[in-house]
A and B are shown apart, each in its own frame.
Chain A
Amino acid sequence: MNAIQIDDLTKYYGKVRGIEHINLTVRQGASYGFIGPNGAGKSTTIRTLLGLLHPNGGKAQIFGLDTVKDREKVLARVGYLPSEVSFYPGMRVKDVLKLSADLRRRDCRKTSVRLCERLKLDMTRKVEELSFGNRKKTAIVCALQHEPELLIFDEPTSGLDPLMQREFFEILKERNKEGATLFLSSHVLSEVQLNCTDAAMIKDGAIITKGSVAELAGTGTKRVSIRGSVDCSSLTGVKDLHSTPGHVDFLYSGDGNALLRTLSVGEVLDFTVTEPDLEEVFLHYYEKGGEL
């Protein structure tokens, strides 16, 4: 069974496009990255998945349950971290965590204490006195304390310092090993590349590519960087060409032999051929709007 199954999901805010015809499948136990810049439709997709928004078209299922008709059953199995965190005024961290547990009719005290210790979160502090990072930690504990089968985290690391980010991803990896499915929305590509096995990229409300992170980063395209002087005009499959005196750099998806022949007639002092990282793929899609 898939943890998330989205079919042709569309959401408009009046006449303004939110997302259009989104199709996405996240298998159970996967760690899935959802990549896109601000305004691309990541949060709209997530909010529609969680039943916070009514879709205009299509449908979504979580563990085979319809996200609209079976909203409560779905939410009982999901832990959600919103990108912007707000709590009720006058409450302490422990009160917020207890309220969240009570709303789920669960006793999560042991797990919440353990998580607060790991994230160095003082449970006695009032939420309005907390820094942005500590409010985020409170929301993380809320999302994790009931040990959900699916974790949907929207921009989870904003506000967390690097040490806390490391601890946070350590916790996520442990949960993933225990069988939980991770769905992380982010525009920080390195964290998706490091922590997810699969990913989808969203742009202007539509999915532009998806697959395993390894595939997306590879895609048969190489980053070729040459110190020296080479005429690349005869090569096909060259993209993102940057040529300066003494240095040529480009993405190459053409024939390997043709590349070697071209290099052999040029003045090459040194050269490297590397896999592009996810960031390069991402920027290529967003800046050039092209295909790799």
Chain B
Amino acid sequence: MTILKHELRQGKTAFLVWTAAIALLLMICIFIFPEMKGDMDAIGEIFASMGSFTAAFGMDRLNIGTLPGFYAIECGNILGLGGALFASLAGISILSKEEKDKTAEFLLTHPVSRTRIVTEKLAAILAEVTAMNLVILALSLLSMRLIGEGIPWKEVLLVHGAYFLLQLELMGICFGISAFLHRGSAGIGLGLAVMMYFLNLIANMTEHAKFLKFITPFGYCEGASLIADGVLNTGYIAVGMLLACIGIAAAYWKYAVSW
């Protein structure tokens, strides 16, 4: 547990900043919903007439004049992108930073196995991502109560659950990449998260690019599909979790077996 506690202490500031930033943006969005609700008919028409971009953000299948629709589109994008960036950064740096900051010599000359190092570091980022999602979910629910809206439990939990899985997938993939890196890694993590986000936008624009949804985790976080179908897309999620597991297995293999 020493490495786990140490990593949580080391990552405390980044965790607090990212959690506060995402939660604050979500709360602002929720607080402006009552004001926007009255104008939503006109706004909805504008959003529905933007062609490919309407489809890209799933606004052709969702009524953003309702709290579930508004939450899935507006808040979903903030939670999706913010959470993806945090999870990717946490995953990509957790192993590689030891080489980059030259602290590997300190850590690896103590009597701890490399497997234990990988396990405790993985547990640390998993704990951070989970805690961030729980805090954000709690503050979102509180905000909905404060604006006097009824909480659409199923829709909110579906959106948060899907984005949590997205973060786990990106975290797992980045964790695997991290074991192979020796220098700066933040760019790779951020780049991967942003690339996945845009792949989903492209997949939404044209049927020809639909296969991209199997690659990007944003494919199973589509607010419109989640609200309309009322379930998570298990096919996309299975592929995503498989990729996360491959990433984690690669990290163990590289760091603890073939170093």
Contact = CB atoms under 8 A, between A and B. Distances in A.
- Genuine A/B complex: yes
Which of B104, B109, B110 has its CB near the most chain A CB atoms (within 10 A)? B109
A186 interface: no
B259 interface: yes
A236 interface: no
Nearest to B116: A72
A262 to B, nearest CB: 55
A72 B102 contact: no
A84 B102 contact: yes
B35 interface: no
Contact of A86 (B6, B106, B109, B112): B106
A103 B101 contact: no
Interface string A67-84: 000011111101010101
Contacts, number: 56
Given A54-B259, A86-B105, A86-B106, A103 B113 contact: no
How many residues of B sit at the interface, in one of the four size bands? Answer: 10 to 19
Nearest to B5: A102
Interface string A90-105: 1000000001101110
A242 B109 CA distance: 48
A87 B106 contact: yes
Contacts of A84: 102, 105
Nearest to A86: B102
B108 interface: yes
Contact of B111 (A73, A89, A142): A73
A90 B10 CA distance: 8
Interface in A31-89: 47, 50-52, 54, 71-76, 78, 80, 82, 84, 86-89
Interface of A: 47, 50-52, 54, 71-76, 78, 80, 82, 84, 86-90, 99-100, 102-104, 142
6 contacts: A72-B111, A73-B111, A76-B111, A82-B106, A100-B110, A104-B110
